[in-house]
Amino acid sequence: MGRRHITVLVSGRGSNLAALADASLQPGFAGAVTHVVSNRPHAAGLDIARQHGIATTVVDHSLFASREAFDAELARVVDRGEPDLVVLAGFMRVLTDAFVARYAGRLLNIHPSLLPAYPGLHTHRRALADGVKVHGCTVHFVTPAVDVGPIVAQAAVPVLPDDDEATLAARVLEQEHRVLPAAVRWFCAGRLSLDAGHVSVQDAAVTVGALLCPPPDPT
C-alpha cells in the first residue's frame, strides 16, 4: 500500500500544517500532505505549503452566498486531491452536515482545549477565567456537532499563576505540534479504530503518570 494522501484545510498561520508536513518526512510515516486548501487568499499557511512543495488552492468563502454553496465548492476542490484523510488545522469555518458526512471517518480536527471542556472559540481566555489548573488540546474526528466528535488524542499542560492568553496559547500550541502529527501517523498506519463513539489506538503506549497542578509539597 502506498502512502496515504492528506489534504489539510487552513485559515491562518499554518503552524500545525508545518509540524505535520515536517513529521511526514520522517521514516515510517505512512502519509504525505499532498494538498492544502484555504478559505483565505492571504493565509500564511499557503506560504508554508508552497515552501514544502505542496499544491495549494484557495476557495474564498466571501465569494459565496451561503455556507452550502461554499462547502459544495470546497468539497469539489478537496476531492480533486483524492485524499485518504482531511485534516482541519486552524480552519475557521463551521462545516455543513453534508460536507462532514462526505468525509465521515476520515476528517480530523485539532482543537485548543481538553474537550469536552471549552468547545468553540476563545478557549484560553475561558480557561483562565474559570481558573482551571490544567488546559490543553484535542485531536478528534469531526461530526456535524461542533467540537464533540470522538477523541483520538489529547495533551495537557499546566496553567501557571502568571499566565495570560498569549503565554497559555503558546504552551498549548507546542503540544498541538506534537499530538496532531501523532494522530495523523496512527490514522495513516491503520492503527485507529472507532467503535460506539470511542477511538482506540492499536499498540499505543500506556501513560501511567499524572499531572498535578500545582504539585503537592515535597515530603
Cβ atoms 119, 127 nearer than 8 A: no
Which residue in 111, 124, 135, 177 is the catalytic one?
111
Look up residue 218 and give its amino acid: P
Q: How far apart are CA 202 and CA 110, in angstroms?
A: 20
Residue 181 φ then ψ, to 5°: -60, -35
Q: Would you list the DSSP string of 83-136?
A: -SEEEESS---PPPHHHHHHTTTSEEEEESS-TTSS-SS-HHHHHHHHT-SEEE
- AA identity, residue 194: L
| Residue 111 falls in the annotated catalytic set | yes
User: Cα separation of 181 and 186, whole Å?
Assistant: 9
- Catalytic residues, which ones? 111
